[in-house]
Amino acid sequence: MISSFFGKTKPINNIVLASFLFLFYFTNVFFQLGDQRINQVIPLEMMLFAVLLVSVFITNQIVRTEKATESNSYAMLFFVLLIVTFSDELVLQNVLFANFFLLLAFWRILSIKSTKNVKHKIFDASLLIAIASLFYDWALAFMLLVFFVIGVYDRKTFKNWLVPLLGVGTIFILTFTVLKLKGSMNFFEDHYQFSLGLFTSKSFFQVLNIKTLIYLILTILVSIAVFIRLRNVSGGKLLLLRIVFLIFVLGTGIILFTPADASPVLLTFFPAAVFFTNYFEVMKKRRLQEALMVGFVVLACSLFAVHLN
């Protein structure tokens, strides 16, 4: 029933997922209040929820517009289930904002496959990644993705390689100007720390907890299975999925470079949702599809309940 319901792209799917996310998000907020009053946190939490919800809808638009999946709502569903599963990560408020701008950047990057207005898309993507880095320093690592895509689609045009520097430079110059006017010139030095949790922690599990480790391994296995099953499809789809997989690899690398209590797992939800959806789509047995979907929902809700306790 769940798989067949979300196998369509009707507006009711958006309403159901938005309501589902609202319920779990504010349940989490209520249990994390502590000594704070609800009226003290509700304005900020409403804004964070709006950013998270729009991120879910952006994910849906990306996969539909760029044809990363078939026409269904599975990507949105998996994205929401991952949010519920890793609800303990929602305390990283800056990562929520960074992820929002990164999703917009990924959209521009994936749209380069049309080879139209390439320079504009490269500039936009670089600009958005630079904005994301103002919230979370390691987001700047996704500039590697921009250069990779330039090398894949239009590496012979020399100007393309300079555009990302222009995009990043634009944001940093504007930020510098604002900071100069406010007298807060320490921002760049204090913000861009690029912490190396993997090398400063004594134990591997201080960097990566068991839940995150299982999630990353599962996503890698699913990605490999998708590439094997789709090896005979058109090259455009495979290339797009390779770019999405690179997003996941970069996100995983960032996770490994940060301590467990500041791990930005959210940055990997978009590529994970794309690969989970593609794997789910190629399954031919309806009963198995339904069983797996129910299992995902139950697991997500169970881990959410454990987090609350």
Q: Determine the pLDDT at residue 206.
A: 57
Mean pLDDT of the region 11-21? 92
User: In terms of domains, do 19 and 38 share one?
Assistant: yes
User: In terms of domains, do 164 and 221 share one?
Assistant: no
Mean pLDDT of the region 67-83? 92
User: In terms of domains, do 233 and 148 share one?
Assistant: no
pLDDT over 70 at 204, yes or no: no
User: In terms of domains, do 39 and 133 share one?
Assistant: no
CA nearest neighbour of 251 among 275, 229, 279: 275
Mean pLDDT of the region 123-131? 97
User: In terms of domains, do 61 and 117 share one?
Assistant: no
Residue 284's alpha-carbon distances to 63, 67, 88, 221, 224, in angstroms, are 21, 20, 34, 19, 18
* SS3 assignment for 214-274: HHHHHHHHHHHHHHHHCCCCCHHHHHHHHHHHHHHHHHHHHHHCCCHHHCCHHHHHHHHHH
In this predicted model, what pLDDT tens digit does every residue of 296-306 receive, in sequence order?
Answer: 999 999 999 98
User: In terms of domains, do 252 and 304 share one?
Assistant: yes
Distance CA 71, CA 7 (A): 8
The CB-based long-range contact list for 15-19 (8 Å cut-off, 24+ gap) reads 17/56, 17/73, 17/76, 17/77, 17/80, 18/53, 18/56
User: In terms of domains, do 176 and 297 share one?
Assistant: no
User: In terms of domains, do 177 and 206 share one?
Assistant: no
Choosing from 159, 193, 227, the residue where a domain stops is 193
The length of the chain is 309
In this predicted model, what pLDDT tens digit does every residue of 141-153 receive, in sequence order?
Answer: 999 999 999 999 8
Mean pLDDT of the region 55-70? 93
pLDDT over 90 at 174, yes or no: yes
Report the number of distinct structural domains present in the chain. Answer: 2
CA nearest neighbour of 165 among 187, 179, 150: 150
At 260, the pLDDT band (50, 70, 90 cuts) reads low
User: In terms of domains, do 85 and 210 share one?
Assistant: yes
Q: What is the largest CA-CA distance in the chain?
A: 62
CA nearest neighbour of 9 among 84, 65, 54, 89: 65
Choosing from 176, 193, 210, the residue where a domain stops is 193
Choosing from 172, 193, 214, the residue where a domain stops is 193
Q: Determine the pLDDT at residue 257.
A: 81
At 207, the pLDDT band (50, 70, 90 cuts) reads low
Distance CA 206, CA 178 (A): 37
In this predicted model, what pLDDT tens digit does every residue of 151-162 receive, in sequence order?
Answer: 998 888 888 999
Q: Determine the pLDDT at residue 261.
A: 64
Q: Determine the pLDDT at residue 34.
A: 67
User: In terms of domains, do 186 and 241 share one?
Assistant: no
Q: What is the extent of the structural domain holding 279? A: 1-91+195-309
User: In terms of domains, do 201 and 308 share one?
Assistant: yes
User: In terms of domains, do 155 and 58 share one?
Assistant: no
Distance CA 1, CA 265 (A): 29
Q: Determine the pLDDT at residue 289.
A: 86
Q: What is the DSSP track for 92-151? A: -HHHHHHHHHHHHHHHHHHGGGG-SSHHHHHHHHHHHHHHHHHH-GGGGGGHHHHHHHHH
Q: Which residue has the higher pLDDT, 95 or 35?
A: 95
